Each structure stands twice: as structure tokens, then as C-alpha cells.
Structure 1
């Protein structure tokens, strides 16, 4: 089946969910996505050059009227029909250089949806891996080892106890920043409404944190959070090591969920083709429509 580029272009709008590899910037990934889309569009059946009406002959005698192809509109003269600067794309969540996982882009009119998601700051879920016994100068595996320590005394129940205390501390902080007593009815009513978001969007809040894998010295924790950033998550692993009377550094960060978008919805780079992108746009549009709180209004909040 031959797809016509103008028909595809009219449907090429909305939110697309892609998988961002580690050690690749979001800006670079955006450029690669735009290039891949434009390349695929130009391989489709594009419109032919527009013809023009030519009136030739001696004005004092009989004139001839003919229709000729307009060479000034030929792709060899003006370039490809679909060019990268004509395709607006923006991201709704930013992942750092070392972080992989779910990344959302808004294409064409979908940039408004991307802005809506970005401003509402929905919760995200990460799987962060670490190693006990070593501390690096940047708290990540790429850094230089500056300290070694014992780790065999650290057991899974020790880590789970500390993570539970950390989660409780962040939950208490949420209510304190809201100006309500944790034991009051107001706090209960706030909790019933869903996630409590801090007024300051620069303060990271952890809604849930647990150890999902423990094979000492390696461990993996799952973090449900908001307002986080890569450096904060990396330093969190370092803090866990210190609190457990050892040291630790981060080895991997992966965003496995962003609002209602999960890893299973993320399109790998090798699958970036026009049919797959159109299918992903339709899937993401359905997910976004079914999300609680998605009514693009001023006070809407995504869960």
C-alpha cells in the first residue's frame, strides 16, 4: 500500500513516547527523531511540482496558451518537500545524560499537549541501580573511586528499614509544605484527592521508595517521585550508602513510567518508521485521553 505524504502529514500530530538510551542528550534525540520523520515523509508519494500556465507568441498576432511543469517548484531546485525546520517537536519531560527510559515528545499541535504535561508535573517512576562498598567523586560509575569500605554487614532488611523511614520523612514533608497537620482531617481530605504536590516545583518529593533487587553489593531501588532530577537521584544512592554505614555509587538510572506512559509504550530507535510512529501517536493519544485529570484547563492535574 502506497501512502500519500499529505495524508500522513495531516495525521502526524500528538504525543509520541520513545525510549531514550543512556549517554544521549534529549536535544540530540529530538534532532534524530525530526530527521527520521522528515526522511520517511520524503520517501512517500509527495505532491508533484505545480504546473503553470504559459502564454506565448506575438501579442499582435495569435497567442498560444499551454500548461507546463514549474521547474521552480521541483524538489531538485527547492529541496525536499518536508524539511526539518518545518516540523515543531518539543519534549514534555527531561531526562539527564546518564538516564534512560520513557521520554515524551509533542509533534506539531501535540506541542501544546507536551506543554500541558510538562506544567502539570505528573509523578515519575525510576529504577536506580547502585553498588555498595565504593564511593566515586561524582557519585556515578563514570567517576573516579575515592573511597572503599566494607559492605557485607548491609542486609536487605537494613536497607528496607532505612528506605521506609525516608519515605515517611518525605510524606511528612509534603503535608508540612501544604501547611496542614499530619493528624488533622484536612490532611486526610488532601490525601483522598490524590498526590500532594509541593508549591515549589524545584523541591524533589519521594512518594514511594523500595528495594526491588538486592544481591550484595549490587542493589536496585524503585522510586516514585516528582520534581526530581538526575543529580538528585544519583546523590540519593550515595546517601543510602552512608546511612547504612558503608559507601555506594549509582550505576544506572532508568525512567520506567511517566504519568500513564510506561516502557511498553516507548518506541525504540530501530523502530522509528512512519507506520510505527503513526501507531504510537494513536496509542499515546488514547492513553492521554484516559488519564485522570486530563482536561486541558488551568487547574487540571495529571495523576
Structure 2
């Protein structure tokens, strides 16, 4: 969108979806309030509608009277307050990221809230980078918790970690076919698999399509996970379970959602760019991506998921 100084014109264009980058240690509700505060600030700094006027007739009724058009003081900014306030906006999100998770969040503003609902129903694949550390366990499975257990980790090898990850992935693949009621070795399973990622009917069941260790520098490690229906504690628990299966303990130290469906961190706006002009430009980019992909068509076939992970 081109630069304009008229707040009314800008308001009309604030209808669509945008991709933002939520930092860790920042709740999504606080993120929403921050974005709305910045939008209100920027809109109110632009030229708003002019103060309305009214016709005032003065003088005695038995003599010629004066007619004047004067500003309506009841419409003065000091009385009405800012023209744009947070309650004037509709803002909702597609994917929910927990307090300790950073990454891509897709938001819908005003009319974009309808698109948000359709995107939730499409339930696209999410990609995460999850970091952990071996040798310690906390009461909340995250590095911010109190250490409740320590264990040795020198015997853990990269090959063993890869084997456990492969086992987890295979277990979830079997579970997907079991939920569909088909034998994994049957022709029906093959025909089901080539249609794309299998999604459980219940959107509350977490499902992992791929999990791989991409960095291993003892005692620290990094996993890349492609999944749906996940939530923050579930990802933390995966790290905890990995430590147990390796006859040690592990704690999650960082969670980042680096891709949500068609949208990656390269498109997401950092906190310093949560302003009107940046969000309007981002809306144009996200709409172009949706248009080029036939509006929310899921691209993530099993092959593409493996390529991403």
C-alpha cells in the first residue's frame, strides 16, 4: 500500500491476515494488546476526520438574527477521546503459541477474522525447532523450572538419539493408520498415504509426521518436528521422554515454530515492525501467497514434509 496521511483510508485497508513473530516469554494475549496499541497509536497520529460543525442561530426573534456555522465542541478530540481505540478492532489468531514458544503466528484483523476461521479448519502442518539439554530434569519440563533430578549423559551417542527419533516417528505413523482403521501393510494404507498427510478426525490428538535430530553438541541437542494438533507442554514432554528412553534425563530449553503451513519466519514481522505500514505491507504478501496456492491448499505431502525436516 502506498503512503497516505488519511487515517480513514488506512482503516479501510486494515482487513486481512498478517504473519508476526511472537517472542518467547511473551503471551499471545499480550502480543495482541501490543499490536492493537501500536495500530491505534499510528492511526491516531494520522489525519482523522475533521471536527463536525453545526448551524447556530443567535439574536432576538423580533429582530434580524445571525446564522453561523461553527465547530461542534461536543465533537472535539479532548471530549471524545482518540478516534481509534482497541475496542474498534477485531483481531484473532490462527495458531496458538504458548508463553515459552516463539515463532510464526498468523493473525486476522477485522474482516481477516473470517479467513482465520477457515485456516483453522484446514489445520496445516506446523514445523518446530525444539532445543534441549541432557543431564537435568525440571518440575515443569522447561529450563525455567526447578531442577528435580540430575543424571549422567556421557554414554549418549548421536546414533542412539537418531534411532529413538526414528522409533517415535514410526510409532506415530502406525497410530495414524490405526485411527483410520487400516492395516499399515495393506493396499488401502498405501492409497491413503499417497493422498497426503493423514489427519485424525479429533483435532485434539497430537500427531507427529517427522522428527529428526539436526544438531548434537553434548549435552545440548536440537530436534526438528513436523506435526499437527500439538501444544507447548506436549513438545516439552517429547524432550523429557527422549531423555528417559536414553536412560538419562533431558529438559527443553527452547521451542520455535519456524513454519506454519505456507508461512515461514522469513515473512513474519518482528516486534519492532508491529506498526500500521509494516502490517499493511505484510497483508499484501500473505494474500499473494494464498492466491498463488489456490487459497489455503495444503502443500505438505509426505515427501515435502521430509524435505522440510
Q: Which residue of 1 aligns with 2:181?
A: 179
Per the alignment, in what secondary structure is the counterpart of residue 251 of structure 2? strand
Match of 1:72?
74
Mapping 1:130-279, distance limit 5 Å: 130-279=132-281
Partners of 1:156 and 1:52 in 2: CA distance = 78
Q: CA deviation at 1:26?
A: 0.5
Tell whether the 8 Å contact from 1:2 to 1:45 is kept in structure 2 after alignment: no
1:41 equivalent to 2:32? Answer no
**Could you tell me which residue of structure 1 aligns to residue 101 of structure 2?**
99
Local SS of the residue matching 2:266: helix
Deviation at 1:115, TM superposition (A): 1.6
Deviations along 1:203-255, one digit per CA (max 9) or x if unpaired, are: 10000100110101100000000000000100100000111111111001111
Measured after TM superposition, the shift of residue 67 of structure 1 is: 1.4
Aligned-partner SS, 2:183 = coil
TM-score, with structure 1 as normaliser: 0.94
1:120 and 1:302 in contact (8 A); partners too: no
TM-superposed CA distance for 1:143, in Å, is 1.5
CA shift for structure 1 position 105? 1.2
Mean Cα deviation higher: 282-291 or 262-271: 282-291
The reply to whether residue 27 of structure 1 matches residue 23 of structure 2 is no
Deviation at 1:2, TM superposition (A): 4.8
Q: Given that residues 138 and 145 in structure 2 are in contact (C-alpha distance below 8 angstroms), is that contact kept between their aligned partners in structure 1?
A: yes
Distance 1:64 1:93 in 2: 62
CA distance in 2, matches of 1:44, 1:118: 34
C-alpha separation between the residues in 1 aligned to 2:61 and 2:116? 59
Structure 1 residue 198 displacement after superposition: 0.3
* TM-score, normalization by structure 2: 0.92
Give 1:84's match in structure 2, choosing from 83, 86, 91: 86
Which residue does the alignment assign to 1:283?
285
In the aligned structure 2, how far is the partner of 1:190 from the partner of 1:290? 26
Query: What's the offset of the Cα at 1:51?
Result: 1.4
Residue 8 of structure 1 aligns to a residue whose secondary structure is helix
Residue 298 of structure 1: aligned partner: none
* Contact in 2 for aligned 1:117/1:302 (Cα 8 Å): no
Supply the RMSD in Å over aligned alpha carbons.
Answer: 1.6
Residue 71 of structure 1: CA displacement?
Answer: 1.2
CA offsets 1:52-109 (integer angstroms, 9 cap, x no match): 2223333344333321111111111101111111011111111111101111111000
How far apart, in 2, do the equivalents of 1:50 and 1:193 lie?
A: 60
The counterpart of 2:54, out of the listed 52, 55, 69, is 52
**Alpha-carbon deviations, 1:177-223, whole Å to 9, x = none?**
01122222322222222111101111100001001101011000000
Divergent runs of 4+, >4 A? none
Deviation sequence 1:100-147 (CA, Å, 0-9, x none): 111111100001111221232211111000001111122111112222
List runs of 5+ in structure 2 lacking aligned partners: 301-309
